[in-house]
Structure 1
């Protein structure tokens, strides 16, 4: 977040301020999600995975499920906003320069932060519910339950998540196509266009990194939740497993569901590092290192060719 703040104040990054706002918001959202959920899980594990010892009233479970929903959907929608912003900046630069201001980006981010918590509060209004999940260390959306609309709320969460992922992929593909077309057309290589091309390429690489991290971390959980709602199955029955049932198919599915949730939680840790690792200065150093290795290999190959030619001449003589 300090790195984003410093880049936001730099004069040469005025064209990237909307994108930097999204990056900073993504880092802030991930940090808040980690601070709200991780201490609860650690406390439950320290209590020998007895959730009732930590949360006798059950209200903490509702708060945990609410946090999982909010800080699951918010990063997905912020990533979609980032991808759409870069698509507009590259495919419609004139319209972007005249209409896309930082206040528009702030309004979009504020809308995401208001709409997602409002959606996550639906179980408190009676549509769906949050329940303790196997192995008793976390709470999330329940697919089956006494309250009406549990499956509907779960499928809505999965559908919104998959929609944001597809939107991110579509926007990034459109951005890639625009960049390739610009390179093929060989536009005028002025200083400003070169600078814009470097900025666009750098942000595109960051978007691709975030897109790959989001898809790898969230796709298993979202697809599995949709499959569960259509098949009307629930993993709340995983709570009563014994040693004899550990080879059953349901037990394997419960373990896979737990792995999918851990992957989704890992996304909050990986998102900020994607921005750090794909910065321009690191990319330049990587290119310099690759170029140095390539030159060393070429020089070595040339030396071997010269030595081989000398040996052939001596043999012929």
Structure 2
């Protein structure tokens, strides 16, 4: 691939004369909006988790809250450690070497992307397993699941994700600047780095495996909830409460599965495809510099899709707190309260309107009687 020095020490920047046009009409407002939204949502989730954790005495609830809080904390740090760099590159007219004169920032960005991406997926899987055990085998869960085990699991996930992300620093795999030059991630094309294909494939396989585990466990949980809900059918208050909680949980789990599939599947599948074809997003730079051929148009389409895929994966950090906590605890219940209020108001409005119409009709009838009385 053709490269140029661009005056940056130990940094080789891909040729990309059309980089501004290739990146689309997205301005610096896009990463700023994503960062602000992610920080606000995850911070709010952490506050609610902390308040709930102090109130909960049931260790089953505490374990689940620990998982949610850890996921929110992971997403929050992922936003804070990577978004400012992307914003800086946009402000530098998409010239990475302007802010990375040493060449070490790309490795740092790649480590952050890999660490927080894998940890978020592993945490989602761990929560799905925890919920499945709590619903399908509650007696075993109550006797064996302790808060200390949850904390050890969280520590193991963070350590494994961080150590795996450090493999390119140790010489296994490679991080490279990705099109359109605003971020760094795992190289998927040909590379002289030892074990680069192994590292890239392992990341994609870990991600897909985590998605499958999460989806399978959530399906098991939904099935268990529905079965238990059917056994509690009746007109009692406890049966109605269990039905309401089952509905809320099923909606939440369906939201989790939809968000995970939409946000992560495109990136992971595309990574495997790029590894198989031995192509890298860096080739998008030279392709955009030489448009016109049919092969160029196909590759440009893949470049746009790859950029969209990584933005969807980043969007998952913003949506996580809403689908795991805020949606269930705030929006869903508030929506039900508002719906009931609107329904009651509508009934009252109809009653008042009907009363006013009856009074108006009565007045008209009285007026007609008065007008007719002189002629009698």
TM-score with structure 2 setting the length: 0.73
Post-superposition CA distance 1:71-104 (Å, at most 9, x none): 1111111011111111111111111111111111
Among 89, 96, 107, the alignment partner of 1:44 is 89
Task: After TM superposition, give the deviation of residue 273 of structure 1 in Å.
Answer: 2.3
RMSD of equivalent CA atoms: 2.9
Answering whether residue 189 of structure 2 is matched by residue 157 of structure 1, we say no
Q: Where do 5+ consecutive residues of structure 1 fail to align?
A: 304-317
**Contact 2:232 / 2:239 at 8 angstroms: preserved in 1?**
no
Of the structure 1 ranges 79-88 and 184-193, higher mean CA displacement relative to structure 2 is found in 184-193
**Contact 2:81 / 2:112 at 8 angstroms: preserved in 1?**
yes
Local SS of the residue matching 1:278: helix
1:27-176 matches, within 5 Å, as 27-144=72-189, 145-176=191-222
Task: After TM superposition, give the deviation of residue 293 of structure 1 in Å.
Answer: 6.0
**Contact 1:158 / 1:222 at 8 angstroms: preserved in 2?**
yes
More helix by share: 1
Q: How many Å separate the matches in 2 of 1:116 and 1:14?
A: 26
List structure 1 segments (4+ residues) > 6 angstroms apart after TM superposition. Answer: 187-197
Q: How many Å separate the matches in 2 of 1:210 and 1:278?
A: 11
Quote the residue 2:312 is aligned against: 263
Q: How many Å separate the matches in 2 of 1:139 and 1:230?
A: 20
Q: How many Å separate the matches in 2 of 1:228 and 1:280?
A: 40
Post-superposition CA distance 1:182-237 (Å, at most 9, x none): 12223799888876776565445433323321211111000000111122222221
Of the structure 1 ranges 202-211 and 80-89, higher mean CA displacement relative to structure 2 is found in 202-211
Quote the residue 1:227 is aligned against: 273
Matched pairs, number: 303
Quote the residue 1:313 is aligned against: none
Name the CA shift for 1:11/1:199 in 2 (closer, same or farther; >3 Å).
farther
Task: After TM superposition, give the deviation of residue 294 of structure 1 in Å.
Answer: 6.4
Local SS of the residue matching 1:58: coil
Instruction: Decide which structure has the larger Cα Rg and report it.
Output: 2
Answering whether residue 328 of structure 2 is matched by residue 283 of structure 1, we say no
TM-score with structure 1 setting the length: 0.86
